């Protein structure tokens, strides 16, 4: 009798022997081993990438630190050390650029979440290397030629040869910036981690700001050379607008200078021609013709006396009147009319440093405005000859310091840009190509005739009391909108800080007693124009003197002027509302009359739906 074995437990061998069943293979050690190997590989790759990232970071930080020494080396004229620094920086960025070109960076850039940050670092590193490799060599070449000791001209002026050489160098610099900008233009900063955005922000800001600025230099450098008399001698009228007797674009413009420029050499003219020009202006020898609707906006003597030519906010009209005055008295022409005020002079003194005057006193950045617009009137009173001599001394001294070229260009440019932003500098040139420069930098001071490039609003003031009281005037401008009604309202707030009656006869208001108004009160004509294509639909019906209310038009824009008395220590506000024409509008541009202090400008959020976000740079300060 046979017994059966449990099925499947044994198998029968050929020899009839029983063999054990096969066992399951142990695969888990291989799986775990492969997993550990993968983890170690990823960890190793991550470690390598981390080391590379640290190297890139350290290189770029070291390069940045080295570059900070270049300005001081340039000031010292240490060209050899500058070249050493440049070579060291190039080596650092070359290594960093080679690292980010590796496959690990492309792999890491594809990782969800963090990849966009890695890609941004890679692009920024590439852009930095492009700038160092392609822009720095020509920039250093330019730096080597445009040095202070090489720019000065004996007797005053600038050596133009280095700038002529720069014309051939600038294209390489601008091309490098354009190439670098192309590498970072697609970076979405809103998607970056804060730590990455903070690190890259400075470079990206340089790209977006320096690139266009260098493009403008490249574009207009030949024009600037022409303005400096590189091709032929030039003659310019420079107006010194007196903010203490305020006018629309600054102040009383009776004081001016005639400047000759020949191949960079600058001279202030003091000859019979310039004397005839000044005499004719203050004595009212010119009756400048313009439309009756424009003349109706201002007092009767607007187009007759030079001290009143700046009552219009349209600076090209002011320039045309001074040009006509020169042509009438000299049977020749001028190449441009430039306007500044004493505040601009104070800013320029930041660059030149203090200047000693003939009387032994010092004029500097801190005291210039007070000396010229207040102390001088208290010192000389109604002694016009003494005051004129003092002003001439100041003008000649400042001119001598500026024309000497013995100042820091960076500081001077910074101060002039500040003055331009505060609407204290205006320029008109007789040649279209040169006027284009003024237009590009918003120095033309023109009443715009359309809303293509900007939508211009403004409120301006003109002294009507025959005084120097506006030394104590502060103003602010507020702009609000009604999108439904499609209107814009501009409100000018004026505050008087006149200290009291203890002021000179020349400072106090001469006209006021005949009107029954205290001599310490400011009497102002407040002027506004509708937006191009719009109409003034709301404003005070009349001012404090109803008979002085004026209406008219200028540059095709409806206008109105009302009289406002601002008593000592008080504040007054005036609002003008204009309709907006149908269609697209350019960015909002605000204009005002500059005082001795800055004019804050506030644009309400209600305007955001009517105007593009990019605002034209024509306000001293802006807030939303």
Is the pLDDT reported for residue 42 higher than 90? no
Percent of the chain having pLDDT more than 90? 53
Residue percentage of the chain with pLDDT more than 70: 86
Tell me the C-alpha distance between 279 and 612, whole Å: 47
* Residue 395: per-residue pLDDT: 83
The model's pLDDT over 405-423, given as tens digits with 9 standing for 90+, comes to: 778 777 888 999 999 999 9
Condensed to tens digits (0 to 9), the pLDDT of residues 225-245 reads 999 999 999 999 999 999 999
Specify the higher pLDDT residue, 20 or 150.
Answer: 150
Q: Could you report the per-residue pLDDT of 471-509, keeping only the tens digit for each? A: 999 999 999 999 999 999 999 999 999 999 999 999 999
User: By the 8 A CB rule, do 522 and 470 touch?
Assistant: yes
Q: pLDDT at residue 6 above 70?
A: no
CB distance 538 to 499 below 8 Å:
no
For 112-144, give one letter per residue: b (16+ CB within 10 A) or e: eeeebbbbbbbbbbbbbbbbbbbbbbbbbbbbb
Mean pLDDT of 609-613: 91
N- to C-terminal Cα separation, the chain: 108
Distance (Å, rounded) from C-alpha 47 to C-alpha 96?
Answer: 17
Q: What is the pLDDT of residue 169?
A: 86
Mean of the pLDDT values across residues 326-343? Answer: 95
The pLDDT score that the predictor gives to residue 105 is 72
Contacts of 204 (CB under 8 A, 6+ apart): 124, 184, 187, 189
* CA separation for the pair 178, 214 (Å, rounded): 10
pLDDT tens across 425-443, in order?
A: 999 999 999 999 999 999 9
pLDDT at 299 over 60: yes
Length of the chain: 624
In the DSSP assignment, the letter for residue 416 is H
Stretch (H or E) spanning 325: helix 315-330
For residue 76, how many other CB atoms are within 10 A of its CB? 11
| Per-residue DSSP letter, 183 | H
**Which one is predicted more confidently, 290 or 29?**
290
Query: In this structure, what token pair is assigned to residue 267?
Result: 């001279």
How far apart, in whole angstroms, are the C-alpha atoms of residue 500 and residue 471?
13
Dihedrals φ, ψ of 102, to 5°? -70, 160
Burial annotation 25-43 (CB, 10 A radius, 16+ → b, else e): eeeeeeeeeeeeeeeeeee
Say what the pTM is.
Answer: 0.83
Which pLDDT value is given to residue 186? 82
Distance CA 561, CA 577 (A): 13
Banded model confidence at residue 246, pLDDT cuts 50, 70, 90:
very high
* 129-174 pLDDT tens trace: 888 888 888 887 777 666 656 666 666 678 888 888 888 888 988 8
Q: For residues 488 and 607, is the Cβ–Cβ distance under 8 A?
A: yes
63: tokens are 């390069």
**What pLDDT score was predicted for residue 13?**
42
Average pLDDT value for the chain? 86
Task: At 583, list the tokens.
Answer: 């269609």
pLDDT of residue 383: 85
For residues 346-356, give the mean pLDDT. 95
């Amino acid at each position: 009798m046979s017994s059966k074995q449990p099925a499947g437990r044994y198998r029968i061998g050929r020899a009839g022997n029983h063999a054990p069943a096969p066992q399951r293979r142990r695969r888990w050690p291989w799986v775990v081993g492969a997993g550990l190997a993968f983890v170690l590989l990823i960890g190793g790759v991550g470690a390598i990438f981390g080391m590379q990232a640290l190297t890139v970071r350290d290189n770029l930080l070291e390069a940045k630190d080295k570059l900070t020494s270049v300005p001081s080396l340039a000031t010292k004229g240490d060209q050899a050390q500058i070249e050493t620094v440049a070579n060291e920086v190039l080596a650092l960025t070359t290594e960093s650029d080679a690292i980010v070109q590796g496959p690990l960076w492309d792999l890491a850039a594809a990782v969800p979440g963090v990849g966009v940050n890695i890609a941004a670092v890679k692009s920024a590193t590439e852009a930095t290397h492009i700038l160092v490799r392609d822009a720095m060599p020509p920039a250093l070449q330019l730096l080597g030629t445009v040095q202070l000791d090489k720019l000065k001209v004996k007797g005053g002026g600038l050596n133009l040869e280095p700038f002529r050489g720069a014309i051939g160098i600038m294209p390489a610099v601008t091309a490098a910036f354009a190439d670098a900008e192309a590498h970072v233009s697609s970076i979405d900063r809103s998607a970056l981690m804060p730590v990455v955005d903070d690190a890259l922000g400075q470079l990206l800001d340089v790209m977006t700001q320096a690139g266009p600025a260098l493009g403008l230099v490249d574009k207009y450098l030949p024009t600037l050379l022409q303005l400096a008399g590189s091709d032929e001698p030039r003659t310019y009228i420079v107006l010194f607008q007196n903010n203490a007797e305020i006018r629309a674009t600054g102040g009383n413009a009776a004081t001016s200078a005639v400047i000759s420029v020949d191949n960079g050499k600058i001279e202030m003219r003091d000859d019979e021609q310039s004397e005839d020009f000044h005499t004719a202006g203050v004595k009212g020898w010119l009756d400048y013709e313009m439309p009756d609707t424009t003349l109706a906006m201002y007092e009767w003597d607007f187009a007759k006396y030079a001290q009143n030519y700046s009552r219009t906010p349209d600076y090209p009209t002011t320039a045309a009147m001074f040009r006509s005055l020169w042509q009438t008295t000299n049977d020749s022409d001028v190449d441009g009319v430039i306007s500044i005020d004493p505040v601009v002079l104070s800013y320029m003194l930041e660059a030149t440093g203090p200047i000693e005057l003939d009387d032994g006193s010092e004029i500097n950045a801190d005291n210039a405005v007070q000396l010229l617009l207040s102390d001088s009137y208290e010192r000389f009173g109604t002694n016009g000859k003494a005051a004129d001599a003092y002003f001439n001394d100041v003008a000649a001294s400042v001119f001598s310091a500026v024309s000497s070229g013995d100042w820091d260009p960076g500081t001077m440019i910074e101060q002039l840009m500040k003055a331009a932003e505060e609407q204290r500098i205006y320029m008109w040139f007789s040649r279209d190509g040169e006027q284009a420069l003024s237009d590009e930098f918003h120095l033309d001071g023109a009443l715009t005739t359309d809303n293509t490039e900007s939508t211009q609003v403004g409120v301006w003031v003109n002294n009507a009391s025959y005084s120097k009281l506006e030394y104590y005037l502060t103003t602010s401008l507020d702009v609000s909108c009604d999108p439904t009604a499609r209107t814009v309202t501009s409100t000018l707030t004026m505050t008087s800080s006149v200290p009291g009656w203890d002021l000179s006869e020349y400072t106090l208001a001469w006209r006021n007693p005949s009107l029954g108004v205290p001599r310490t009160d400011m009497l102002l004509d407040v002027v506004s124009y509708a937006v191009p294509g719009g109409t003034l639909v709301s404003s005070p019906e009349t001012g404090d003197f109803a008979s002085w209310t004026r209406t008219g038009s200028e540059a095709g824009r409806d206008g109105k002027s009302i009289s406002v008395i601002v008593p000592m220590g008080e504040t007054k506000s005036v609002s003008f509302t204009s309709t907006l024409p149908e269609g697209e509008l350019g960015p909002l541009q605000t204009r005002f009359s500059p005082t001795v202090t800055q004019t804050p400008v506030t644009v309400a959020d209600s305007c955001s739906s009517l105007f593009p976000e990019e605002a034209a740079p024509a306000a001293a300060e802006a807030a939303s």
